[in-house]
Amino acid sequence: MTKLSTRTRTDLFIHLGIILALAVVLVLTFFFGYLPFSTNHGQTITVPDLKQMSLDELENYLDDRKLRYEVSDCTFVAGGVPLTVFAQYPQPGSNVKEGRKIYLTVVKRMAPQLAMPNLIDLTSRSAELLIRSMGLVMGDLTYEPDLGKNKVLRQYANGQEIKAGMPVAKGTKIDLVVGDGEGNVYFPTPDVTNLPYDEAATAIQGAGLRVGVRVPVDDPEQEVGTVIKQKPRAGERIRVGQSVDVWVVGPLDSNTDANQ
């Protein structure tokens, strides 16, 4: 066997070049020969969309496509079909190798139980935000006469009134009864005719009503400032918060508006 001489610098460079060439050949052979062969390089499968499929369907469906699955999480979805796929990873359309495991989030059979929040006296908007934040569903609004406009008066679940703290399933629809801002207390309109305007205004406001339009009229037989007519008339049923217009003898004072 002939020995390679390394006595000269030229011989040394030749040897180093041979070693470097062999190393490059080995690296290229590994990456472009052995590695692609051992890992089935270039052989990929497109991940199908598994959403809303049942677990019973998945086994054979994924076997046929040389894929596997694992349930990694469960969640409750209002209106969702139990034991069906809600989400998956990798996403549909991704390219993966044969035998890749698809991780699934599945819809639970039973909804978790929550403690019903207290919505009474909240505005309907605030109540809706709280309902949605807890995983409940905003239902119908029913208006009832009440001075508190859009104030929650009662709360219902499944047609039954539900109190704060009672158990309610996540995803349950919550219906609310709210105030219309007008109230429902009716009573006879007080009689303010023949009273001085100041006394009439005090009587009207004391009854939970508002003084409406003050109409100036001429009546030489009555003292100036006397109320000689009102609308609604005395005895008519009126609701809390409504206004009573009055006809007053004499011109309006310079500091008095026509609408009070």
Closest CA to 136 of 163, 107, 173, 167: 173
Question: Cα separation of 148 and 123, whole Å?
Answer: 9
pLDDT one digit per residue (tens) for the chain, 260 residues: 445 555 677 766 777 777 888 887 777 776 666 655 555 555 688 899 999 898 888 888 888 888 999 898 988 887 788 889 999 999 998 898 888 999 999 998 888 899 999 999 999 999 999 999 999 999 999 998 887 889 999 999 999 999 999 999 988 999 999 998 876 667 889 999 999 999 999 999 988 889 999 999 999 889 999 999 999 999 998 887 789 999 999 987 644 444 44
Question: Cα separation of 227 and 40, whole Å?
Answer: 101
Task: Write out the two tokens for 66.
Answer: 């040389």
Single-letter code of the amino acid located at 78 = A
Could you count the other beta carbons within 10 Å of the beta carbon of residue 66?
A: 13
Closest CA to 154 of 144, 167, 169, 166: 144
φ, ψ at 167 (rounded to 5°)? -70, 140
Closest CA to 111 of 176, 175, 173: 173
Question: Cα separation of 114 and 112, whole Å?
Answer: 7
Contact 179, 144 (CB under 8 A): yes
